[in-house]
Amino acid sequence: MLSQNYSFIQLRRAENFKTSNDLEKNFQLNVASNKIKLNNSTLSLLISNNPRYEGYYLNLNLRQRFLKGNFKCLSIGSFIDLTFPVTFLGSNVGVLKSIAEGNNLICQDLKSSKNPLIIFNNELFKRNDNSAIKQVLENLNFYINNNTFNGLNNLNPSLSETGLNITNNFPPLTLKDLNNFSLLYFINITSNNIANLKKITELNLLNYNFKLKSTNNLILDQNYKLNHNYTLMDGLNFSNYLHLPTSVFYENEETFVNTEGFIKRTTKLISRKHTRNNWQIIRKLFKQLKKNFVSLELKNNNLIFFNSNKIVSFKNYINFNYYATQNLTNLNFYLSIKTTPIVFTNKLAFKPASNKLKNSKLKYWLDDFFTGGKDEYSQNSLILTNCSKILRSETTNFF
């Protein structure tokens, strides 16, 4: 909302993530979570994911479908225990390529199956050859379903990933963005587990030429931290650094869209006096800026201005700017129960561009599910640390 009002604000993702969010079918589960359509399927292909941890509800549905009989589950990725029998095909991109070309022994099962499902992880879009992998998956789904059934399903392990894709398509952060800026605002960013920020930090340590060490730049860090001496992107010297403490997930009452498309609401469990929600901090910050800079009020003096094609975004804008409330959840009365994906069965006969596919291992589901997350409190939790130790002791090929 703020970036569409003010042209000098640029929104970027910390991770190198590129996908198309024009249709809901590209970034959420389509039919894999629907029990009626799942019962009509006889095969599922899991690609680089672990539904037992990333989507427990999906894993329960797959287990129930397997127990009913006449259902086979194939997996390309790590050797993991999904609580029901799974046939593992390998962990290399070459396996997926051979299946799409029809040179794999499993192709006969895919062709003879009824309404096969392809469930992949959105971590694949962080690869450099993500466009090529997406094209391979679309072609595979087209030939095994005869263009009559959309079996592609994107499983998001992150809680807010689907909601971000519904909101907008945010380009990734690059070195070009860091060459000309006066204010760098980090929101919910933990650089310890983000490869893109690690790369930028390494380039800076090698004296790469960009202006992140400038004394005129202001760095605002809006994250929850147990140790306030810790700074983002270790190895970078921040001259003007300011930490704005924010509340954690268990202290907020928020609305989010899960990977199945259902709109959920969280309940506040604990509270602290010295922390605020993310949107409350941003709202108060720009309220103070409007008092000091008259130019920020030019578009809002006599005319409500907001450039958006979605009525939902416009209503969020009105609530964010003009309604005094403690949280935005109570104002989301216009939200539906679930987002329904739109599927176009007839494909345009345009020749696709040639993409190079890198023959490497697929992105594994997670380095460590319990302590390898992107939040701050998982790494400092005694319970999650003990769960991680148990999982490492029971798993022989933990990557």
Beta strands in 229-346 (DSSP E): 240-243, 255-257, 263-265
d(CA 396, CA 7): 51
- Residue 381: which of 371, 373, 393, 392 has the closest Cα? 371
Q: What H or E segment, with its residue span, contains residue 23?
A: none
Mean pLDDT on 201-228: 62
Q: What is the end-to-end Cα distance of the chain in Å, rounded?
A: 40
**Quick one: what percent of the chain has pLDDT higher than 90?**
8
pLDDT at site 207: 58
pTM over 0.85: no
Mean pLDDT on 35-57: 88
Q: Please provide the average confidence, as pLDDT, over all residues in the chain.
A: 76
- Is-contact 126 17, C-beta < 8 A? yes
Look up residue 361 and give its two tokens. Answer: 């291992």
- Residue 11: which of 121, 138, 172, 149 has the closest Cα? 172
d(CA 67, CA 72): 10
Complete domains list, the chain, with CATH: 2-16+167-331 (no CATH), 24-158+353-394 (3.40.228.10)
Taking only the tens place, the pLDDT of each residue in 132-160 is 888 888 888 888 877 677 888 989 888 88
pLDDT at site 366: 54
- Is-contact 202 56, C-beta < 8 A? no
CA–chain centroid gap for 370, Å, is 17
Higher pLDDT pick, 297 / 163: 163
**Quick one: what percent of the chain has pLDDT higher than 70?**
71
Which of left, alpha, beta for 113 (phi over 0: left; psi -120 to 50: alpha)?
Answer: beta
pLDDT at site 398: 45
Q: What H or E segment, with its residue span, contains residue 162?
A: helix 161-167
pLDDT band for position 50 (cuts 50, 70, 90): confident
